[in-house]
Amino acid sequence: MVTLFGLVLLTLLVVTAVAIVITPNLFVAVMLMSIFSLLMAATFFILDAADVALTEAAIGAGMSTILFLSALALLAEREQRSPGRKWLPIAVVALTTLTLIYATFDKPRLGDPSAPVHQHVAPWYLEQSPVLMEMSNVVTAVLAGFRAYDTLGEVLVILTAGLGVMLILANGRPERSRQGSAPVAGGLRHHLVPRVVGQLLIPFIVLFGLYLQFHGEFGPGGGFQAGAIIAVGIVLHSLLEGEAAGRAILPTRVLVGLMTGGALLFCAVGIAGMLLGGNFLDYAVLAVDPVAGQQLGIHLVEAGVGITVTSTLVAAFHAFADREPAA
């Protein structure tokens, strides 16, 4: 039964992907990308990967769509076809596709316990998470505990991306609209119903993000998902009240400070481990009881991830939404 649902979702996915490539109107492509993200999230969910599905829904269908739309508001809607030979890219893509399809012939069946991926470290992680960390969500235990060095790299990549966007796009001071009270600064302020309902929802969205952040040890959740959802809440406020109000609440200085602060918190936890006698990012020495130390380390590290992700996404949104299209 699950296979049948999965097949239906994958068919819709292929149809959407083909439509995204074919359509010349970029706005339509962005709308279809949102549907694509939803289909991916539903597929991940049917395959029992709840953490990944939550991240895909929060980032793909939420923040990604908003960022694409804010960029598209500055540009033309029609794609500009580049003249040139079409047969070379098609040949390369077709060759790669056929090679990949051939490579899937040897794949083990889904959920096969004797597959290579289930043989090496995976059983060890599954056995040791309740013993070493007493954490029921193994994904968080692996992400923030056993493989924390990798997650540190991810946080630094997010920080670099945020700083890159700001260096390229943002000015020192926000651009003032030359036409006076333009909708750029107004947002949806003049539309009463969405504004009231949206303002009612903002605290719930932020609260739900905080719930996911701290509940990540027991259920689907964690720093990345929580960061994306809190960013969506803050962006909703900017959309409703206008850019000026959004900037007044979280100025650029504060956003940059939060971005770097989150990454620094992560590194500080690692260095604290070294100073207390263990290795870098060794959490067992952070408290008297090694299990409590592991949990404390994971809490702090996930908080750092959440802070960096939130501030990067909000800064990227402000960098795009503040600009006005070239006249």
Partner 1 sequence: MYYAATAAILVTMALALTRALLGPTVYDRVLAVNMFGTKTVLLVSIVAFLSGRPDFLDLALAYALINFVGVLAVLAFFQKKRHYERPR
Partner 2 sequence: MIVDVLSFVMLALGGFFVFMGGLGALRLPDLYTRMHAASLTDSLGTILTLGGIMLQSGWSLATVKLLTILFFLMLTGPTASYALANAALLSAHDPGAGTAPATET
What does 193 interact with, of partner 1, partner 2, none (CB < 5 to 8 A by kind)?
partner 2
Q: Does 182 bind partner 2 (CB under 8 A)?
A: no
Cβ-based nearer residue to partner 1, 89 or 183: 183
CB of 211 to partner 2, least distance (A): 11
What does 107 interact with, of partner 1, partner 2, none (CB < 5 to 8 A by kind)?
none
What does 240 interact with, of partner 2, partner 1, none (CB < 5 to 8 A by kind)?
partner 1
What does 121 interact with, of partner 2, partner 1, none (CB < 5 to 8 A by kind)?
none
- Contact yes or no for 273/286 (Cβ under 8 A): yes
Please tell me the distance from the alpha carbon of residue 306 to that of residue 213, in angstroms, as a whole number.
Answer: 7
CB of 17 to partner 2, least distance (A): 21
CB of 75 to partner 2, least distance (A): 19
Q: How many CA atoms lie within 13 A of 266 on its CB side?
A: 27
What does 62 interact with, of partner 2, partner 1, none (CB < 5 to 8 A by kind)?
partner 1
What does 159 interact with, of partner 1, partner 2, none (CB < 5 to 8 A by kind)?
none
Binding site for partner 1 (CB under 8 A): 1, 5, 8-9, 12, 15-16, 19, 27-28, 31-32, 34-35, 38, 41-42, 45-46, 48, 50, 53-54, 57-58, 61-62, 65-66, 69-70, 72-73, 182-184, 187-188, 194, 198, 201, 204-205, 208, 212, 215, 218-221, 225, 229, 232, 235-236, 239-240, 324-325, 327
CA distances, 243 to each of 61, 178, 248, 250, 315 (Å) = 22, 14, 8, 11, 12
Please tell me the distance from the alpha carbon of residue 184 to that of residue 175, in angstroms, as a whole number.
Answer: 10
- Contact yes or no for 215/299 (Cβ under 8 A): no
What does 269 interact with, of partner 1, partner 2, none (CB < 5 to 8 A by kind)?
none
Q: What residue type is assigned to position 212 of the chain?
A: L
- Contact yes or no for 314/65 (Cβ under 8 A): no
Q: Does 5 bind partner 2 (CB under 8 A)?
A: no
Alpha helices in the chain (DSSP H): 2-22, 26-46, 50-55, 65-72, 87-103, 122-128, 138-141, 148-169, 183-186, 192-215, 223-241, 243-249, 252-275, 290-321
Q: Which residues pair with 92 in a beta bridge?
A: none
Name the residue with tokens 């500080």: 268
Please tell me the distance from the alpha carbon of residue 66 to that of residue 235, in angstroms, as a whole number.
Answer: 9
Residue choice 1, 4, 193, 288 for contact with partner 2 (CB under 8 A): 193
Tell me if residue 134 falls in helix, strand or coil: coil
Q: Does 197 bind partner 2 (CB under 8 A)?
A: yes
Contacting positions for partner 2 (CB under 8 A): 188, 190-191, 193-194, 197-198, 200-201, 204
